[in-house]
Amino acid sequence: MRDYDVECIRCGARYAKDEIVYTCRACGGLLDIKYDYAHVDSDKIVKAPGEGVWKYRALLPFGAETVPVTIQEGNTPLYRCDRLGEALGLRDLWVKHEGLNPSGSFKDRGMTVGVTKAVELGVKGVACASTGNTSASLAIFAAKAGIPCYVLLPKGKVALGKVAQAMMHGAQVFSLLGNFDDALRVVRVLCEEESLYLLNSVNPYRLEGQKTIAFEAAEKLGWQAPDRLILPVGNAGNISAIFKGFQELKTLGITDTIPMMTGIQAVGAKPIVNAFKTGAPEITPEPKPETIASAIRIGNPVNAEKALHAIRSTGGLSESVTDDEITHAQLELARMEGIGVEPASAASLAGLKKLVEQGEIQPDERIVCITTGHLLKDPERVIEICEAPKEVEADVAALRELMK
Ligand SMILES: *Cc1c(COP(=O)(O)O)cnc(C)c1O
Ligand SMILES: [Zn+2]
């Protein structure tokens, strides 16, 4: 068994590896998986064979005997974006497109680890609340593992492609009369009482999978951390996970620096931005979160404490963007770089643009933007804003007439 501890980030209380616990029973704090880094061989990361999340299993909480539940997640491309960079006045801009995971979002990285843990624990089923992508991802891994899956979605608030995935892969889907934060509150109690395994990002095993975004980004840059990492923030698990990944690389002496972690939220759902800007130690939840970027329509981010630490301790930033700015950035990614993303993902670029205009970001920074989910997940707005296909007779002259 790889040696690690499950530890409360506030009071340091420790929990056994086979104990099912998501937040500290003593103080309510978030949990983290801690390794004995002195005994991790950095060559097992730097020279590991294979690709994807499990390539980095020297820093995953499983022994060599564990057989992962995997659909070959991770190993997503890191694109150099010179056209977009030039338009923004940036010299070294990259986009890591997490929409190219098996279910179309980065959630797969967390779920391969989370569902592997669920199987190891021998639980009778897995469950989550979701704005869409978590449920789609959990459904595919539960299908692969052959275990029951229950998902709670806020009614009328989830993009069609994501619901279709959860349904098609065999999850029991519930349409909850309430928002995401209500769904998470309900499913947490359900999991306690019914002995189901909760796979929202409050579960620290999920973040272990997601931290591999940092490993891959650094690896593709020749084992160097970028100066800045920008991503959309909803429940704030991903920013916390990626920060942890970069911290580990530095601890092991693989890289020298940690990027300035920069989290972007939508104007209608920005508790982290508010806390960052006011210097408040904790967030004030937003009771009625609203934005077209449904994946980050979250008012009470469960990982806020970890995320604020990630942003503050790296000299990072946090900014909010409007729905129009998100849509515009989505169009630019699609048309200047060939990168098709769902609205939430475009928040990273929209935020970058805003911070550059404010003079907060220097033109020569090496910047990696994470685009979290695929365009096909949520094409509704795209169909509204793009010119509709023109109907044409089956005749070349008629076609030529209509072409611009
Ligand atoms: C889940 C998700 C997010 C938000 O990630 P958090 O870890 O909740 O902050 C952003 N974009 C997409 C596409 C997502 O699926
Ligand atoms: Zn505690």
Predicted confidence band at 381 (pLDDT cuts at 50, 70, 90)? confident
Report whether 81 contacts 230 (CB < 8 A).
Answer: no
Quote the tokens at residue 208.
Answer: 């272990």
Report whether 61 contacts 34 (CB < 8 A).
Answer: no
Report whether 227 contacts 261 (CB < 8 A).
Answer: no
pLDDT of residue 175: 97
Quick one: what percent of the chain has pLDDT higher than 90? 97
Instruction: Report CA-CA distances (Å) from 277 to 271, 273, 280, 320, 327.
Output: 10, 6, 8, 11, 24
Q: ∠ at Cα 282 (280, 287), nearest 5°? A: 110
Q: Say yes or no to pLDDT of 1 above 50.
A: no
Cβ–ligand 1 distance for 318 under 6 Å, the answer no
- The correct answer on CATH 3.40.47.10 for the domain covering 78-104+206-385 is no
Report whether 355 contacts 299 (CB < 8 A).
Answer: no
Please state the domain extents for the chain: 78-104+206-385
Across the range 233-239, mean pLDDT stands at: 98
Name the closest ligand to CA 13: 2
pLDDT of residue 2: 60
pLDDT of residue 26: 97
Q: Report pLDDT digits (tens) over 280-330.
A: 999 999 999 999 999 999 999 999 999 999 999 999 999 999 999 999 999
What is the average pLDDT score of the chain? 97
Distance of CA 131 to the CA centre of its chain: 12
- Ligand 1 atom nearest to 377, measured from its CA: 13
Report whether 402 contacts 392 (CB < 8 A).
Answer: yes
Residue with tokens 């023109």: 390
With the most atoms of ligand 1 within 8 angstroms of its CB, the residue from 30, 106, 200, 208 to mutate is 106
Across the range 155-162, mean pLDDT stands at: 93
Q: Report pLDDT digits (tens) over 180-208.
A: 999 999 999 999 999 899 999 999 999 99
40 by Cβ neighbours in 10 Å (0-12 / 13-18 / 19+) ranks as middle
Report whether 384 contacts 324 (CB < 8 A).
Answer: no
Residue 373, SS3 per DSSP: strand
Cβ–ligand 1 distance for 92 under 6 Å, the answer no
Report whether 375 contacts 340 (CB < 8 A).
Answer: yes
Quote the tokens at residue 383.
Answer: 């169909």
- Ligand 1 atom nearest to 342, measured from its CA: 13
The CA 84 to ligand 1 mean position distance, Å, reads 23
Q: Say yes or no to pLDDT of 3 above 80.
A: yes
Residue with tokens 């104990």: 19
Cβ–ligand 1 distance for 314 under 6 Å, the answer no
Helices (H), 40-179: 43-46, 82-88, 107-121, 133-145, 160-168
Q: Look at the pTM and tell me if it is higher than 0.95.
A: yes
Q: How many CB atoms lie within 10 A of CB 127?
A: 27
Predicted confidence band at 404 (pLDDT cuts at 50, 70, 90)? confident
Across the range 224-235, mean pLDDT stands at: 98
Across the range 237-263, mean pLDDT stands at: 98
Edge to edge, the sheet with strand 14-15 lists 14-15, 4-8, 31-35
Q: Report pLDDT digits (tens) over 82-137.
A: 999 999 999 999 999 999 999 999 999 999 999 999 999 999 999 999 999 999 99
Task: Establish how many alpha carbons lie within 13 A of residue 106's alpha carbon, considering only the half-sphere containing its beta carbon.
Answer: 31
Task: Give which of 333, 396, 284 is closest to 99, Cα–Cα.
Answer: 333
| Helix, strand and coil in the chain, % to nearest 5 | 45, 15, 40
The CA 7 to ligand 2 mean position distance, Å, reads 8
